[in-house]
Structure 1
Amino acid sequence: MATTDRQATTLALAHALSAAERGLAVIPLSRTKLPALRSPHRDAPDPAGPPCHGECGRYGHGVHDATTDPARIRKLFAAAPHATGYGIACGLPPHHLIGVDLDTKTGADSFAALRELARRHLFTIPATVVVLTPSGGRHLWLSGPPDVVVPNSAGRLAPGIDIRGAGGYLVGPGSRTDHGTYTPAPGTAHLAPAACPPALLRLLLPPPRAHHPTPPSTGGHGQGLVQFVLAAHEGQRNTRLFWAACRAYEEGIGPALAGSLADAAVSTGLSEREAHATIASAARMTAHRP
């Protein structure tokens, strides 16, 4: 059994290195499709500041560990000797990957649903990389514009259609899981991720949010969260905004403060779409609907 596991890890590493050669940032995954490295902060008390996304220099930060550097990939897999697969981070250059996950486990015909969306919104599903999942589903790889942040979603477009965007990952072809192996669909492995049709891209983005001035009801703490975002330097902007938005939604002032947090983030250099996508992610993370 140990020999089989070692062989699976060696094979997963080879596939991951091959993906990295194509510009795809990767992380090791376990048989459960989760990141194979546990968080180094799992036993620490709740931090007073923003969550660590790898700034500590250790491994175990999920998709934030993703890299195309072969030496770093080898170190990640060496630290994860039970990895049997690899994840491909979405939203990163050069491909700005968007994953369309057509699931079959819900009983919905997600393939037909996507075709109906294409017919209704007048776009064509392009020839692109397609990965077959052990459950009978498919992952379609698309490339997004560099200045657009596509959020993750589950079933928002239609039942059985999940989207993997910024902060998400796709299980790479060749990965072995408890349920089987992910394989490239015949005739697609050599393709590059096709550009996401503009009409489909519009469906994937959150609706535009109206501008709201800073509400007086949020009080001093709300203003403190806004100031926390305003003080962000390059490399901290998304992290600070996400942390502040999570605190706001947890304390019940998220809807009232969202506009001010977005304005603050934009003033530090984030795009409006990225700011709104980050706040929307925080709302979902804290079980609120933005």
Structure 2
Amino acid sequence: MTTPMITATNAPDMLTGALAAAARGWHVFPLLSGTKRPARPNHRERDCTGTDPRCRDGHTGWDARATTDATRIRRAWSGESPAYGLGIACGPSGLVVVDLDTHKPGTEIPEPWNRFGIRTGEDVLDHLAGAHGGTITPTFTVRTPSGGTHLYYTAPEGVRYGNTAGTIGWLVDTRAHGGYVVAAPTTIGTSSYVVTDDRAPAPLPWFLIDLLGRQHRPAPAAGPRPIRTEVDHMPAYVKSAVDQEAHNVATAPAKKHNARLYVAAKALGQLIAGGVLAEHTAYDALSDAAHSLIGPGCDCNPREIDSTIRSGFHAGSRNPRTPNPRDNSRTNSRNNSRKAA
């Protein structure tokens, strides 16, 4: 059976769009006309009085009311309320939607994105994919009224992701369990959500699985994790350099966490630019070491850690370095001097 496209041009009423989404197995619910707010229930959980028929046994929110049932959908978008917008509950639909925004004029562009000349979430995601050895798999895509993009991916089996807001990267949010997206052909103001790629959603790319996994992964109790077995084939002196720089970060004294992380990232950035070290290997080692510092008395946060590492990599890339095994003794000497200082 051919699934109808969900576009503004061939679906003048929202009912067609809602039925098309449900035909894909996506759980839908109505939004108040011209807004991004759920139409039902019309009250918050803390204000629930139990008088709503579906709340008699406890508050029932938009996620529980979302449905693929065609009869319920026709009832919701027909009759007196055909102008409702369309929401898709991501969790029940088995979706992880990546929301890529655009830079708003007059707002500050954080580093390192400003140095890179990056202004959109699409470019940030492209940079992250390259940094982690991944690709942005073509998938079901929607253009938003603000000029942003929604990429719809299928969630991995047995994994329950929540929502993120800027923790993966600037202008990059994700919606999964507990989240929803406004879907085509909903209109906000004078513009509509429009499907620009109607293919079936692709599986969530591996680099995003890794990045999203970090949002729910507890930080190591102390120090960096060992270099992963799949990169154990790297030269011993390169592995030693990575281990040493990660150790320097994990043992940084108070008030010097960010400075120590930047210096370590810059040193490994030289090796990355020299072609002897994979960026994702260096990133993982430094990120895990830095996350182990987060706690009382430390103002470190995941976004700052990510920004500092990437800024250090960028600075190091200006001076590519391809060491030989004898350089390891110089590295140890430099590190011993740093400790003494």
TM-score normalized with structure 2 length: 0.51
Task: Supply the AA of the counterpart residue of 2:71.
Answer: A
**Could you tell which deviates more after superposition, 126-135 or 200-209?**
200-209
Tell me the alpha carbon deviations over residues 246-266 of structure 1, each in whole angstroms, 9 at most, x when there is no partner.
xxxxxxxxxxxxxxxxxxxxx
Say if 1:25 and 1:80 are closer, same or farther in 2 by CA, change over 3 A: farther
Q: Is the 8 A contact 1:40 1:60 kept in 2?
A: no
The answer to whether 1:196 aligns with 2:204 is yes
Structure 2 counterpart of 1:97 = 95
SS of 2:63 mapped into structure 1: helix
- Shift in alpha-carbon separation, 1:171–1:103, aligned structure 2, 3 A: same
Aligned residue identity for 1:101: D
Gaps of 5+ in 1: 1-8, 213-288
| Structure 2 counterparts to residues 144-159 of structure 1, below 5 A | 144-159=155-170
Is 1:27 matched up with 2:36?
A: no
The one-character-per-residue Cα deviations of 1:142-200 (angstroms, maximum 9, x if unpaired) are 11113111111111111111111111111111111224100011xx21x1110011221
Cα gap change, 1:120 to 1:46, in 2 (>3 Å): farther
Corresponding residue SS for 1:173: coil
Task: Label 1:138 to 1:33 Cα distance change in 2 as closer, same or farther (>3 A).
Answer: same
Counterpart mapping for 1:45-194 below 5 A: 56=56, 61-78=61-78, 81=81, 83-93=83-93, 96-106=94-104, 108-185=119-196, 188-189=197-198, 191-194=199-202
Distance across 1 between alignment mates of 2:28 and 2:70: 10
In angstroms, what is the RMSD of aligned CA positions? 3.3
C-alpha deviation, 1:210, in angstroms: 7.2
Report the AA paired with residue 131 of structure 1.
V
**1:79 to 1:202, Cα distance in 2 relative to 1, 3 A:** farther
5+ unaligned residues in a row in structure 2: which ranges?
1-10, 106-118, 222-300, 302-341
2:86 is aligned with what amino acid? Y
CA contact (8 A) 1:37 1:80 kept: no
Partner of 2:16: 14
> Which whole-Å CA distance do the structure 2 matches of 1:58 and 1:177 have between them?
32
- Distance of 2:72 and 2:59 partners within structure 1: 10
Post-superposition shift, 1:111?
A: 1.2
Equivalent pair of 1:135/1:179 in contact (CA under 8 Å): no
8 A contact 2:22–2:68 mirrored in 1: yes
How big is each residue's C-alpha offset from its partner over 1:53-88, in whole Å with a ceiling of 9 and x where there is no partner?
x56379972222111011111233358716432011
Aligned partner of residue 156 in structure 1, secondary structure:
strand
Q: Which amino acid aligns with 1:75?
A: R
How many residues are treated as equivalent by the alignment? 196
Give the Cα separation in 2 of the matches to 1:171 and 1:195: 21
Residue aligned with 2:158, SS: coil
Q: Counterpart of 1:203 in structure 2: which amino acid? A: L
1:134 and 1:167, CA in 2 relative to 1: closer, same or farther beyond 3 A? same
Q: Give the Cα–Cα distance (whole angstroms) in 1 for the partners of residues 147 and 165 of structure 2.
A: 18
CA distance in 1, matches of 2:157, 2:16: 28
* CA deviation after TM superposition for structure 1 residue 46, in Å: 8.7
State the identity %.
Answer: 35
Is the contact between residue 13 and residue 82 of structure 2 (CA under 8 Å) also seen in structure 1?
A: no
Q: Whole-Å Cα distance in 1 between the matches of residues 40 and 80 of structure 2?
A: 6
SS at match of 1:157: strand
Shift of 1:125: 0.7
Q: Secondary structure at the match of 2:86?
A: strand
What is the CA distance between 1:28 and its match in structure 2?
Answer: 0.8
From the superposition, tell whether residues 46 and 55 of structure 1 become closer, same or farther in structure 2 (CA, over 3 Å). Answer: closer
Q: 1:208 aligns with which of 213, 217, 237?
A: 217
Stretch deviating more after TM superposition (68-77 or 158-167)? 68-77
Contact kept in structure 2, 1:130 and 1:141, CA below 8 Å: yes
CA contact (8 A) 2:30 2:38 kept: yes
Q: Would you say the 8 A contact 2:35–2:85 is kept in 1? A: no
